[in-house]
Structure 1
């Protein structure tokens, strides 16, 4: 009840702040970019609040628990992406005078068709990013109140769509800045309290990743899907009916719906495809996607996708157009780097302590919930309930703030870029985009949040990153080169991640090239744009366009 009340307060405050912006959303410029009048401090906090999504609040901690220390590279990549944004994109994009990325594409290359192609890619990226936000909302509400998963998904979609449809970018700015403060305070305070309260022995276990994980007390593990477990040593467990079942060392299949009670002191078993908690793979500071056996390549590919993908995320780039000048836009991006660096100190705390106190979450499909479940496990009673309420409210704030920016970019791509934009049509596009995202999120319960967000970054890195870098810094880019490169980048990246999601592939190079495609799709998109452009003629207005992008 305490958690539900905390979430309700965050929802109510978000609605009130969002509706406050109604008076300022009268034109397309007001709705999409707040008439370029957002102050740097507000903008930095809003971008940080928008960027810190479910992948940061829930997904990163869950991946640390499930897959090990190598997943901390996600935090590095998420933050490093803004270094590239400051260096290559922020200032010129603001000088272009565009509202959206498709706006920039048409300005730079003079083609309405390229604008529409870019608008379609915006829809793909935004939906890939929006679905995990609604999934996270459903998970958290289910955990703290017992409400069905679909209730949280629908509730988050309704609140965000009403807030954004009412006030546009100005509403989103205030809401997201408020949510950054909520997320930082509501995750940082419980994290520090948990570190202190956990005790010296638990802290030692958390900081010694090579130490194997054991169940601290008799623990019931419910398997929602059929799972293959590798038992490290003989263990006797209690089955669903209460009878004792001896499990010898080796591999055992557990049916969906089965509940097993592991005794205190038993080693935590290893699910198929997941590193042993405390084993060599778990403690290695590299990513090994799908146990493909190439952790260094997987790490580089992930970093490439996340870092370059940040330059191509439409909702991030739209934010810089709200700044009064290009210099202000760069200052905003630098401020975001500092705010992100502070926040990313804390998700790792939940993942590391989760290995000690809640190792059962790594056995099923619930690793994303470790941030919400952990406080009550470490601190029983009323204090744990209060800490859980804070974390749940902070997590819900993350879904709302990120969803606000994503819906604005989605509405811009759907209405402003694909059709003629007006405020009523933009508001209708917000509602339509929310409906589609909710319908996709309902069956996405078992997909890892960070995996979905990683796919969005991979598509952005393979499409808009080459378009923006070459369009801003290379005068020879042609319409044919840009269109061909965008098409190839979009088809290869979306095709790879879709195939990795539905195909049952054996570990190996094929698996990692599909699950983390940026290592080959990004160079392919860049090469395609360059080669096709060199075969054609430089646009007559290219020098003038670049002069406008770079001249003070």
Structure 2
């Protein structure tokens, strides 16, 4: 693969600016208060940009376009769900959560239900969700550097881990807030500018050869003779009979010549196989992708499983957002509940603007880089599209812009996840000092790195969707019922988390085993939220009813604090010393003043 010097320059610049902003901001971080919640002085607009920066992960920057390329209209539910989750967060959670005065999600649950056992149990889920969500960020970094620079997959994962860990241990939340706000605007530019340019080129009839019109019912075709190198084993489907040349292993047999594939057979192509397609050949797709354009353009078919899978995805994304620890911890940095709600409104605007562009890039990818449907590496579409459309220096420069944006996506989301999980570990497992936070950050960073290097890469949006399902099935019931239902007890909350978490983790285990043994698992192991979320709510409410005498004694005072308007003055921030020893007291006057 030819090295793109522009892309290398863009990635290095993003890394340098990220490190510089983090180092500069970390000079003002001196206490646990700074490291956990940036002294609760982050203004609404900056906090909204920071939230958007960490929320727009590899699944958003790369995965949405890749899954649109692969699945078509059905994939649009991903950006819709990712954005709509903040509407539910704004309406039901944001302001009461900030008024609770908590520092972490387990801290909120203890403040509401008065149980240390529940706090410890929820800590385990926070850690697991954070690590599970960080894995696709590191895998995406490996994919990005492999696609652009030709480096081994482990290089990108290691680079992101090192940069993020250095920033986090230097200044925690205070350091990464400015970094993430900057990275949102960088990502918006990095995806919007290439989209505008590529759309202008496409509408003007320029650019490289295309795979046919998306309006035709036939499958896409290779516009010229195309060679595809299969790096990981895949099982393919073809819509029409296809003749090609194969050099490698096909269906377990060594092949070095012409092969014929029919729609009735799903050929299995081994690792390292080279496939050469004549010009005009229909494009095979990996199992699960849409083979023809007519189906690609339409929403879910009449099959009931497609409809249920869509509803399950909606459950996961709509409710999962409010259960993601790295999202919730951001609202603790606002000065009051009103600012938290205002922040969420701004986030909705910023996310809605961003998600306009990946869908367009996904559609263009089906025209210009159809070979990704053969290898299954559809998450690389955003990175490969500029060179496929323009070629030459112009394509390399646009590719460098998208590469810089993708690298920013890996860094910003990984930073937020690392801060949220390290904060929970340092306050619930360790004594809670600044050095404990730094130790926790290093330990947490190592776990997802090892997993990312050990597991094979799946579609980024799908793997992140499983994380959303876990968050929706564990913390979403706790937050909604804890804020709005007076009869919730800590035993009911724990029962709901056990039921919802066990079901999702069981589905995840089955799905992983299935992926290595022939993809035999049913659809609900990929999208389990339709069943796991209601089960968690029912378990929580039934057990709470059965243990009604365990309702906290201070219920009235806590509910008043959660729902009373801010000017009444009932909000009280929980002291750092409540769950750990700060290395020094907060110094008045250094935190700055909150502005809208």
Q: TM-score range by the shorter chain?
A: over 0.9
Alpha-carbon deviation of 1:234?
4.1
Q: Secondary structure at the match of 2:293?
A: coil
Is the Cα contact below 8 Å between 1:277 and 1:355 reproduced in 2?
Answer: no
Alpha-carbon deviation of 1:294?
1.1
**Deviation digits for residues 45-64 of structure 1, max 9, x if unmatched?**
00000100000001111111
- The 1:205/1:98 distance shift into structure 2, 3 A limit, reads farther
The correspondence of residues 169-188 of structure 1 with structure 2, limited to 5 A, is 169-188=173-192
Task: Number of aligned residue pairs: give it.
Answer: 547
Distance 2:217 2:85 in 1: 31
1:22 equivalenced with 2:26 (yes/no): yes
Is the Cα contact below 8 Å between 1:216 and 1:357 reproduced in 2?
Answer: no
**Deviation digits for residues 404-423 of structure 1, max 9, x if unmatched?**
10001110122112332111
Ranges in structure 2 where 5+ consecutive residues have no aligned partner: 249-254, 566-596
Is the Cα contact below 8 Å between 1:71 and 1:287 reproduced in 2?
Answer: no
Match of 1:456 among 457, 467, 475: 467
Distance 1:230 1:224 in 2: 18
The correspondence of residues 51-130 of structure 1 with structure 2, limited to 5 A, is 51-130=55-134
**413-422 or 178-187, larger mean C-alpha shift:** 413-422
Distance 1:224 1:307 in 2: 35
What does residue 544 of structure 2 align with? 533
TM-score by length of 1: 0.95
1:135 equivalenced with 2:139 (yes/no): yes
Q: Secondary structure at the match of 2:236?
A: strand
**Deviation digits for residues 310-341 of structure 1, max 9, x if unmatched?**
01111111001101110010000000000000
**489-498 or 304-313, larger mean C-alpha shift:** 489-498
Ranges in structure 1 where 5+ consecutive residues have no aligned partner: none
**485-494 or 431-440, larger mean C-alpha shift:** 485-494
The correspondence of residues 178-217 of structure 1 with structure 2, limited to 5 A, is 178-199=182-203, 208=215, 210-217=217-224
1:337 equivalenced with 2:382 (yes/no): no
Distance 2:320 2:240 in 1: 43
- The 1:349/1:206 distance shift into structure 2, 3 A limit, reads farther
Distance 1:455 1:198 in 2: 35
Match of 2:481 among 459, 470, 475: 470
Distance 1:310 1:10 in 2: 27
What does residue 282 of structure 2 align with? 267
Q: Secondary structure at the match of 2:522?
A: helix
1:370 equivalenced with 2:393 (yes/no): no
- The 1:140/1:209 distance shift into structure 2, 3 A limit, reads farther
Match of 2:325 among 310, 314, 318: 314
Is the Cα contact below 8 Å between 2:42 and 2:335 reproduced in 1?
Answer: yes
Q: Secondary structure at the match of 2:275?
A: strand
Distance 1:195 1:69 in 2: 19
- The 1:419/1:243 distance shift into structure 2, 3 A limit, reads closer
Q: Secondary structure at the match of 1:383?
A: helix
**88-97 or 530-539, larger mean C-alpha shift:** 530-539
Distance 1:314 1:235 in 2: 48
Q: Secondary structure at the match of 2:299?
A: coil
- The 1:156/1:277 distance shift into structure 2, 3 A limit, reads farther
Is the Cα contact below 8 Å between 1:2 and 1:386 reproduced in 2?
Answer: yes
1:551 equivalenced with 2:555 (yes/no): no
Q: Secondary structure at the match of 1:228?
A: strand
Distance 1:97 1:45 in 2: 22
What does residue 286 of structure 1 align with? 300
1:245 equivalenced with 2:242 (yes/no): no
What does residue 256 of structure 1 align with? 271
1:485 equivalenced with 2:496 (yes/no): yes
- The 1:203/1:543 distance shift into structure 2, 3 A limit, reads farther
**53-62 or 64-73, larger mean C-alpha shift:** 64-73
Answer 1 or 2: which has greater helix percent.
1
Distance 1:455 1:34 in 2: 30
Alpha-carbon deviation of 1:85?
0.4
Is the Cα contact below 8 Å between 1:477 and 1:530 reproduced in 2?
Answer: yes
Is the Cα contact below 8 Å between 2:35 and 2:174 reproduced in 1?
Answer: yes
Alpha-carbon deviation of 1:220?
0.9
**Deviation digits for residues 133-155 of structure 1, max 9, x if unmatched?**
11111111112211111111100
Q: CA RMSD in A?
A: 2.1
Is the Cα contact below 8 Å between 1:312 and 1:461 reproduced in 2?
Answer: yes
Match of 1:301 among 304, 309, 312: 312
1:437 equivalenced with 2:448 (yes/no): yes
Distance 2:216 2:356 in 1: 18
Distance 1:551 1:254 in 2: 62
**Deviation digits for residues 221-244 of structure 1, max 9, x if unmatched?**
112233333344444423339965
Match of 1:524 among 519, 530, 535: 535
- The 1:502/1:293 distance shift into structure 2, 3 A limit, reads farther
Is the Cα contact below 8 Å between 1:268 and 1:277 reproduced in 2?
Answer: no
Alpha-carbon deviation of 1:502?
1.2
**435-444 or 173-182, larger mean C-alpha shift:** 435-444
Distance 1:104 1:463 in 2: 14
Is the Cα contact below 8 Å between 1:206 and 1:353 reproduced in 2?
Answer: no
TM-score by length of 2: 0.88
Q: Secondary structure at the match of 1:245?
A: strand
Distance 1:163 1:531 in 2: 44
Is the Cα contact below 8 Å between 1:220 and 1:260 reproduced in 2?
Answer: yes
Distance 1:191 1:256 in 2: 33
- The 1:544/1:205 distance shift into structure 2, 3 A limit, reads farther
